[in-house]
Homo-oligomer: A and B are copies of this chain.
Amino acid sequence: MPRTADHDQRRRQIADAVCALISDHGLDAVTVARTAAAAGMSVGLVQHYFRTKDDMLLHAFTTVSARIRDRAEGHIRQGTEHRRPIARVMAEVMAEFLPLDEERRAEYRVALAFAGRALDAPALAEVDAETARRLRRDVARAVHNGKECGEVDPDLDPWPAAVRLTAVTEGLAMQVYRDGAGGAEGGGAGGEAAAAHCASVIEAELASVFTGECRQYADAPS
């Protein structure tokens, strides 16, 4: 066998370049040539790993979606392992989706750009829908689990609750992004005020679902 290279590593490298370009200059600025330059390779090599530009974009979107998903699921898994109150874990997961620092803002820009293009690109739309479905499913599961330990009213239907919680999260993310873009930001004080503000909204929303105390498990020590 001839000369070898780490296929996945290369593809990730390209996907990262795509994301950086989108975040910095928008999806329209993503060309194969620019992507290659940003990834520090030639146009031909990009073609070697992705037959078409659409393949490249799809892989980039799949990658970021997976990253976001994993972060959320990891949060949940760790929370349940440590037997922490579900409402607390959910608060963290929801906050994870808000573009409050520059890193999440970048990620949000990428996600939104792809969401826009997904309107007439079924493959992208499917990825988008799938991640949304999984998130909603996870939240619904969390609410359901909340019943068993007494945080949630046993008569509450988990599905509408999950829909509500994911909806406020997404909607809040949009508002945070729009407001943060225009003016305040810059220093950090404005951002933190916004964070506190959001936290209170999320808290209010969670309080309408997680109405009881966690009676079965004690909070983790640290």
A: residues with CB less than 8 A from B are: 25-29, 109, 112-113, 115-117, 119-121, 125-126, 128-129, 132, 136, 160, 163-164, 166-172, 174-175, 178-179, 181-182, 197, 200-201, 204-205, 208
Contacts and interface: CB of A to CB of B under 8 A. Distances in A.
Contacts of A172: 163, 167, 171
Which residue, of A115, A163, A182, A205, has the highest number of chain B Cβ atoms within 10 A? A163
Q: Is the interface of A mostly helix, strand, loop or mixed?
A: helix
A201 B125 contact: no
Given A129-B181, A164-B168, A175-B132, A109 B113 contact: no
Contact of A27 (B116, B126, B136, B205): B116
Given A26-B120, A28-B120, A116-B117, A129 B179 contact: yes
Give the number of copies in the complex: 2
A171 B178 contact: no
Contact of A160 (B112, B170, B204): B204
Contacts of A136: 175
Given A167-B172, A167-B201, A172-B167, A25 B208 contact: no
A169 B171 contact: yes
A151 to B, nearest CB: 18
A164 B205 contact: yes
Contacts of A182: 125-126, 129
A163 B128 contact: no
B170 A132 contact: no
B160 A166 contact: no
Contacts of A25: 120
Contacts of A28: 117, 120
A182 B127 CA distance: 11
Contacts of A201: 160, 163-164, 167
A163 B175 contact: yes
A25 B178 CA distance: 26
A170 B164 contact: no
Given A171-B167, A171-B170, A119 B112 contact: yes
